[in-house]
Amino acid sequence: MAHARRCQTPAVAHAPGKLLLLDSASLYFRAFFGVPTSISAPDGSPVNAVRGLLDMIARLVTDHRPTRLVACWDDDWRPAFRVEAIPSYKAHRVAADGDEEVPDLLSPQVPVIAEVLAALGIARVGAAGFEADDVIGTLVAREAAAAQPAPVDVVTGDRDLFQLVDDARRVRVLYTVRGIKDLEVVDQARLAERYAVTSGPAYADMAVLRGDPSDGLPGVPGIGEKTAAQLVGRYGSLDGLLAAVADGDATLSPTQRRRLLDAAAYLEVAPAVVRVAADAPVGDVDDRLPAVVADPERLVALAERWGLASSVRRVVDALVAVA
């Protein structure tokens, strides 16, 4: 654990570099299901999600060499403003106690992840009343408004964040569908190839129409992904499509127009649910890749308590090599 005591490179100033934003819950859920629960602490407690996430971070830092890194957090996994708009939003994931339904062996690992990130000095950021997606959307918007905006890579297993893809702003999604070792790079060309939409906002509009059962979003009955993409492409946006419906545009089939009219109440509220916030209450963030471990003694104690020495060492070695 020598490296856990101190990374020798001095801290760097906030520089353009590259900003890496982690959809933390998406990654630790993937780690939990991808690493055997037999991976345990000395007392037998499972730490597969902790170990898996730390190894992911080490690999991401090594492969993508960011100068800035933020672990974005769900301070509210089911925000009230989304539930008020669409009550079915994530309703199937609500446990008996009202919290999110999380595997019993994963729940105790989440606070450990938070403690280890803090000891390492990796920024962990949430926003009251908002999801990690909204934190990510806000940080992306903030970066775009900077005097010298940096390229941004968003690491997630959630397709909802494809709406942030923007070649002009150098915003990509590194999609974990094939795992951390073989991330799918999603840019506008990939959106066009895979979903037949040409931009992040167009993806969001398509997602409103298509819906998403995994999030409890019904979509417009009878309009699937392919048709949704065609309609958004033809009319330029969801707003353009709805204007065509209102105007009785002859290029819209009677069946499609009827389906869209029948779903008018849903379409009025769904965009605010599907689109990630760009103005969540996220304070100032010191997102510099830590060149010095924030709390070496605490990090050593956590590594020993939870049997994380090898994973912690990999993360610290990656930080040293990049910083």
- Reported as a single tens digit per residue, the pLDDT across 192-203 is 999 999 999 999
**Structural tokens at position 209:** 């129409």
Distances in whole angstroms, Cα of residue 270 to Cα of each of 116, 265, 273: 37, 9, 5
Give the full edge-to-edge strand order of the sheet including 171-175.
123-125, 68-72, 19-23, 152-156, 171-175, 184-186
Give 6's Cβ-side CA count (13 Å radius). 4
The model's pLDDT over 57-83, given as tens digits with 9 standing for 90+, comes to 999 999 999 999 999 999 999 999 999
**Structural tokens at position 87:** 């009550």
For residues 128 and 322, give the distance between their C-alpha atoms in angstroms, rounded to a whole number: 32
> If you average pLDDT over every residue of the chain, what do you get?
93
Residue 11 in this model has a pLDDT that exceeds 60: no
Lowest mean pLDDT among 35-39, 190-194, 208-212, 251-255: 251-255
